[in-house]
Structure 1
Amino acid sequence: MVVFCFLVDQTRKVNKAKPVAGSCSRCQRGASVAEIVTKTRFCSIPFYWRSCKAIVCTFCGATLKSYT
């Protein structure tokens, strides 16, 4: 028996952000330390969520470094 379950949705939300010294290596704009929550739904059912801290660019949104 084969069961297919497709990834429906994965969202990333920034809960808190605080400016940090330095700039983005891609666009040379400001960066900030952010607490990010990632939520994943499989087949429309909330399945997994994770919280981590990361240094992200405030202009382009690139994740420069992630802390678990």
Structure 2
Amino acid sequence: MVFFCFLVDQKRKVSNSKPAAGICSRCGGGASVADMKTATRFCYVPFYWKSWRAILCTFCGSILKSYR
């Protein structure tokens, strides 16, 4: 009998943020510029990391713009 384990997920983490001018187009909340880190895991073992910058809504948490 053969079992395959194909469990892949991504975790996003905000490492640093500061307020930015502007409002969210979805909820009207404030905006902030954040340094993000994304870790992609395969079967609970991280194998890829990426750092990038994004503009986030401080109320609903949606990504308004990303700079990769």
TM over 0.5: yes
Q: CA RMSD in A?
A: 1.5
Alignment of structure 1 residues 1-68 onto 2, 5 Å: 4-68=4-68
Unaligned residue ranges in structure 2 (runs of 5+): none
- Report deviation, 1:52: 0.3
Aligned-residue sequence identity (percent) comes to 67
Structure 1 stretches of 4+ with a deviation exceeding 3 A read none
TM-score of the superposition, structure 1-length normalised?
0.87
Following TM superposition, by how much is the alpha carbon of 1:10 offset from its aligned partner in structure 2, in angstroms?
1.5
The letter for the 2-side match of 1:53 is: R
Question: 1:21-62: per-residue Cα shift (whole Å, max 9, x none)?
Answer: 110000001000000000011022111110000000011000
TM-score, scaled to structure 2: 0.87
Separation of aligned partners in 1, 2:12 and 2:47: 14
Give the superposition deviation at 1:5.
4.6
